[in-house]
Amino acid sequence: MCVIFFCADASPQPGGYKLILASNRDEFFARATQTAAKWANAGHVYGGIDLEPGREGGTWLAIGHSGGVFKVGALLNLTGEPKPRDAVAHKNILQPHNHNNSNNCNPTSSSTTSYSFSSNNNNSHLSKVHPSNEHFLLGRGMIVADFVTESDEDHNILSYNQRLLKDCTKYSAFNFVSIEIGPSSVQPTARVQLLSNVPPTLEEYHNGKCYGFGNSLPHTPFAKVQHGQAEFETIVKEHGGASVDTITEHLMKLLKNSHKFWPDPELKRRAPNWGEGLSALNVHISDHAYGSRTHTVILVDSDNKMHFIEETMTGLDPKGEWRKTHITKDF
């Protein structure tokens, strides 16, 4: 389970933000994860990285900047959907996106190159992996990694999603959020798309509007997503021109809201056993050591200065120590 709220505006008012984004990553607390950082072999990309054996290199959320264009990708599981019949998992190989796959941010493409993540003495790097068996599955998190890493025409938001749409039924169920913000003189509006694969759909969204997505289809949102989007809109309206510290404080408060929006018919339908536990924005299911283990805020101001702010658990207890990372970069 994950949730994301954002507003993308290619031409904000002076002192405003091109991107205001807030997201929770819900996962098992023990899952190996690299804290948000600049990717060593893709220095224009920032985000966390999945270190789960066999799924290394994937990510649930990342931002890249190349050629004056910001690209953001986020991967959300579609809860309660069965895996494809021919799904075959493999824990030691990653495949390109024109093959089957299995991964993401929950318990329950035609790109020709993918990337794996390795770490040695804390020096992390991405390396290319080539296919050897078309029946192996690629983790869905690689959809995000490939989108934000590559900057050629085949990987712009329009081309990438059109190719992915053709191959999307080869993946376990997902929502893929993609955002592309170019220079206002060249691309006066931000491009925002959501690709879902059950059923295969690709929808376009508007520049300057506030959106929220979770682990259901966009037209049947969970109650917590509806509430969160309304609160996010209020924060953007009241603090959209405020300092980084001020807006981050309000967004983190939103992400840490533990109120359960229950009952929720759509969530109960998709997750009958875990529904109530998943009904808060800030999830904590202690019996399964699962919940909102990472809170992230990404801001890009009108002068192209990025702030990537992450709070993530360092152990297995959400009441224990959390690590805060604040990355700033002028582009």
Nearest to 12 by CA among 305, 226, 249, 296: 305
Please give the pLDDT value at position 138. 55
pTM, whole model, 2 decimals? 0.86
Residue 163: domain span: 2-330
How many folded domains does the chain comprise? Answer: 1
Please give the pLDDT value at position 211. 98
Domain CATH code at residue 25: 3.60.60.10
Considering the chain, what percentage of its residues have pLDDT values greater than 70?
82
Which residue positions in the chain have pLDDT lower than 70? 1, 83-139
Please give the pLDDT value at position 258. 98
Distances (CA, A) of 142 to 23, 48, 54, 74: 18, 12, 12, 10
Q: According to DSSP H, which parts of the chain are helical? A: 141-149, 157-167, 223-239, 244-255, 265-270
Please give the pLDDT value at position 84. 55
Are the C-beta atoms of 94 and 129 separated by less than 8 Å? yes
For the chain, the 3-state helix, strand and coil shares in percent, each to the nearest 5, are: 20, 35, 45
In degrees, rounded to 5, the angle at the alpha carbon of residue 211 between the alpha carbons of residues 304 and 84 is 110
- Summarize pLDDT for 124-151 with one digit per residue, the tens: 333 333 333 344 455 688 999 999 999 9
Residue 234 to residue 280: CA distance in whole angstroms: 19
Beta bridge partners of 120: 123
